[in-house]
Amino acid sequence: MAVRAGAPEHRPGPSWQRRNTGADAHRQVGRGRTLGRDGTSSNAEFASYLATSGPQAGEGERLLVAPRVLVDATAVPADRGALGRYVDGLIAALGAAGADLAVACQRADEERYGRLVPSARIVAGPTAIAHRPARLAWEQTGLPLVAQQVNADVLHAPHYTMPLRPGVPVVVTIHDLTYFTEPDAHNPVTATFFKSAIRTAARRATRLLVPSKATRDELVRVLGADPTRIDVAYHGVDHTLFHRPTPEQVLGVSNRLGLHGMPYVAYLGGLEPRKNVPALISGWAAAVADLADPPALVLGGGSGWSEEVDEAVAAVPAHLRLVRPGYLRFTDLPGFLGGALVVAFPSRGEGFGLPVLEAMACGAPVLTTHRTSLPEVGGDAVAYTEPDADAIKAALRGLVDDPARREALGAAGHARSQEFSWTVSAEAHMASYQRAAAQRGE
């Protein structure tokens, strides 16, 4: 394993402080943001988690320390995707807050994370873990060794799976429960694997992190998970990347898509069944077919798996324009989302709904569904539809025919997106890490 050293062992930070007590076994939980009863963090002044055991500097003095956290970023795919945006945004915010951080990653990401968090210790795993089976095997054997090597107090596994014998408290992010609630929307082999992984995490992890209250409630309802061990940490959005685009950015993306100024409805995400893309295609085609200047539909993102998508595409009338550009460059996303007539995301279920938030940050009017966590993200600042094609047709046509409502939704969505940041998300994550460290040995 390649190791990149970060800052010295004893470094001050503006938010999280660490003091070596002389015995690693006596590390206690340190500072964190003030917490609400639902497990989320607030923006109040730092509350102190005060250590009452271990060596004392003097009578009445208490040590303020924070856990060293190893974040396992090895599951992040090469194309980043939503998981990459979550992990990258979180790690950058933790580093900026002065967290005592180590990052395990793919060898190809070593330099990326070294630039993103110069103060962190970066550990690149073996080349073989670029392949999922090898990565999952390494997670069980190599990752606990890395945790020991970097002297971690807490391990954060940000994508469902965890080592069975980690050697330290583990915090696992469970993004959604759709493998249980929408089994037909997933590849059967994949669903079986992740259902097992989620059950294992719910049973063995020290704490569980979820990106919404809806996902927390699903964990309790479906798996009987202990709600006192679940922490809610909403995702953030990178406002330097996702922002209102300039006219030049909009035109540049339009030209690269071959639309050259033609209006379009945008979708960004995977094409797997739970994203409900076939219903979107059918609803869009029915909504715009009789218009003199019908907007195109652009399906940005990965190919996913769904024969129904291909069938829906084949049924699109010949005079309508449907574009499938695949993955888009990050730098093109503001122009793509912000330049759309409407961004449609009619998912049947999400753990959070990052594409909705990112579209809102770009000032786009958004159409989504009332399912699971999506109302927590969109609030009153987006339009809603049921997930069937007829409902999508009616809702989409209503937006296409109403420029004033589109403008109002774009403004409202942009304003609401400012409430979400990776800084606030990092505070909630750090509070969960601190709880996990305090539970060591329980």
Tokens, residue 410: 């774009």
How many residues are given for the chain? Answer: 442
| Edge-to-edge strands, sheet with 101-105 | 2-4, 121-124, 101-105, 69-72, 154-157, 170-173, 207-210, 230-232
Helix axes 81-96, 354-361, angle to 10 degrees: 70
**Exposed e or buried b per residue across 183-199, where buried means at least 16 C-beta atoms within 10 angstroms of its C-beta:** eebbeeeebebbbebbe
* pLDDT tens digits for range 56-101: 334 443 334 689 999 999 999 988 888 999 999 999 999 999 999 9
Residue 9 has pLDDT above 70, yes or no: no
* pLDDT tens digits for range 305-352: 678 888 999 999 999 999 999 889 989 999 999 999 999 999 998 999
Which residue ranges form the domains of the chain, and what is each CATH number?
Answer: 2-236+422-438 (3.40.50.2000), 247-417 (3.40.50.2000)
Residue 271 has pLDDT above 70, yes or no: yes
pTM: 0.82
